[in-house]
Amino acid sequence: MSEMTYRDALNLALREELRRDPSVVVWGEDVALYEGSFKVTRGLLAEFGEERIRDTPISENTIVGVAIGAAMGGLRPVAELMTVNFALLAMDQIVNHMAKIRSMFGGQASLPLVVRMPGGGGSQLAAQHSQSLESYFMHCPGIRVAYPATPADAKGLLKTAIRDPNPVIFLEHELLYNSKGEVPDDPEFTVPFGRAGILRAGTDVTIVAYARMAVLALQAAEALEKEAGISCEVVDLRTLNPLDAETFVASARKTGRAVVVEECWRSAGLGGDLAHRIHEACFDSLRAPVRRVAGLDVPMPYSRELEKLCIPQVESIAVAVRDVMTASV
């Protein structure tokens, strides 16, 4: 095990897979000479050359479209979009082609393609560059969606995504790139899709979260244990499609209370789906209604203080847990 940042864990996963499989290529805006907007592709051009690490024009629709064709032709492209917000310019390729080709060809065409996208708020990048759009992709059948919270999962899930014969949207929260954690050195270390992780065992309430919200949920759980003696079980989804509902449902059934945390907008957000699954499966076990903590339904302001109000924080998660502990059905 080695301690490294989330960023370096992603870089290591790319490097190991490029070495292992000559069909893996990395394409995107500034991924080669500039080594990526967030330096995830640092050093790859020097090691693997411009035939495999290639800068592209500023055209997200083209980046994804070419990657789709290359995947159908036998390569394993890892396409990087500079930010998830720019994926809106490629939604025709993502929704109408990337998600559907394997099904429309009756399984005769494989699509081993990964589209990496940094996203999320908290960096004072304002409304057009701070969005959390994961529910867009989760809503579309045919696409796998991964969103790791820890450096170990960043490495393991990205390696699984690259080896998968299906198209994968791989999301990375911008505020996690500098976070550190233990990462297995084994080049064959992978994390399976569709298997949530228990970041912290508990008995009083279940907190279901993912990506940066899983990290904040863990911090809230530790503070609640220390300050109020509340034992929280924190479930990190890790992948949104396939979704491991079995794990968080079992946890909610055990604790009898649940809080769902998401950074995306509350209206039609992912949390509503998660809360419904818990209510539907655990109706007779719940001691209180499921609470949701979500981003505010507003365009993200530039002001740092206003931005904090729009995104769930450790304290807002803790407040929801305290509320669910005192509520009853």
How far is it, in rounded angstroms, from Cα 151 to Cα 59?
A: 29
**Sheet containing 144-146: order of strands:** 53-55, 24-28, 76-80, 114-119, 168-173, 144-146, 239-241
Residue with tokens 């649940």: 258
Residue with tokens 């500034």: 30
Indicate the SS3 state at residue 245. helix
How far is it, in rounded angstroms, from Cα 215 to Cα 191?
A: 18
What distances in angstroms separate CA 288 from CA 194, 236, 252, 253, one per listed residue?
Answer: 27, 21, 11, 12
The alpha carbon of 299 is separated from its chain's Cα centroid by a whole number of angstroms, namely 21
Residue with tokens 């000479």: 33
From the CB of residue 42, how many other CB atoms can be counted at a distance below 10 Å?
17
- DSSP H helices, 188-301, are 211-228, 245-255, 270-282
Give catalytic residues, as residue numbers. Answer: 60, 129
Identify the CA nearest to 8 among candidates 49, 48, 43: 43
How far is it, in rounded angstroms, from Cα 119 to Cα 57?
A: 20
